[in-house]
Amino acid sequence: MPAILQFWFDPASTYAYLSAMRIEALAARRAVEVEWRPFLLGPIFRAQGWDTSPFNVYPAKGRYMVRDIERIAAARGLPPFRLPDPFPARSIKAARLALLAADQECIAPFMRAVFQKAFADGRDISDDDVLRECLRAAGVPEVDAIIAAADETAVKKRLRRETEQALRLGVFGAPTFIAPDGELFWGDDRLEQAIDWTIALRHRRA
């Protein structure tokens, strides 16, 4: 049985961007498989009483978050960090497209492209043209058909179910990593621990 680590993210999440850019390389080195699980933070933040990102609700924390990510981006050789305007971006279409890209086994390159557009290029990821570029960069076939499919009721429902599932699993922010036994890790700075935990589980079962 392959060791699978779930990676729950919202395409508008700043810290999920940091994880998206390194999770595949880190996990592959340890023979762990990554399951990309897009969802929307909006309903989860509303359940906590916020009508926007906590980085907007608490300005001191928001200013710190930008500085923190600037430092981490520099240390990891990522491009200078840009906070998109508006922040958070409206990420619903990117999240629906991520589900469809997963069906084509293209979700990892698609999401890396989306995150880079948002946080390195400062582009608006609710824009169809930007999303089209990302789909193309990820090698997704029939880009226009996929863009259209993202507005279908079945896809909308699928994303809603994913967000409900995230809430049920105890997700309260992004990125969240969930190991095969349900153990939950929150934040890019817990990614290594989540991978270690997943591997330890495999050894315990073997």
Tokens of 18: 């940091």
| Of residues 62 and 109, the one with the C-beta less far from a copy of itself | 62
Tell the smallest beta-carbon distance from residue 136 to a copy of itself (Å).
37
56 binds a copy of itself (CB under 8 A): no
58 binds a copy of itself (CB under 8 A): yes
Angle between helices 92-103 and 128-137 (to 10 degrees): 30
Map residue 186 onto helix, strand or coil. strand
| Of residues 109 and 187, the one with the C-beta less far from a copy of itself | 187
61 binds a copy of itself (CB under 8 A): yes
Around Cβ 169, how many Cβ atoms within 10 Å? Answer: 15
What beta strand segments (E) does 48-202 contain? 176-178, 184-186
| End-to-end Cα separation, the chain, in angstroms | 10
190 binds a copy of itself (CB under 8 A): yes
Name which position in 31, 48, 52, 205 contacts a copy of itself (CB under 8 A). Answer: 48
Task: Note the maximum CA span of the chain.
Answer: 49
Residues in binding contact with a copy of itself, number by CB under 8 A:
20
In the sheet with 176-178, reading across from the earlier edge strand, the strands are 32-38, 3-9, 176-178, 184-186
Name which position in 66, 104, 158, 172 contacts a copy of itself (CB under 8 A). Answer: 172
Tell the smallest beta-carbon distance from residue 149 to a copy of itself (Å).
33
Stretch that binds a copy of itself, among 4-12, 110-118, 150-158, 181-189 (CB under 8 A): 181-189
- Cα angle 16, 21, 26 (rounded to 5 degrees) comes to 105
Binding site residues, a copy of itself, CB under 8 A: 48, 58, 60-61, 63-64, 67-68, 71, 75, 170, 172-173, 184-187, 189-190, 193
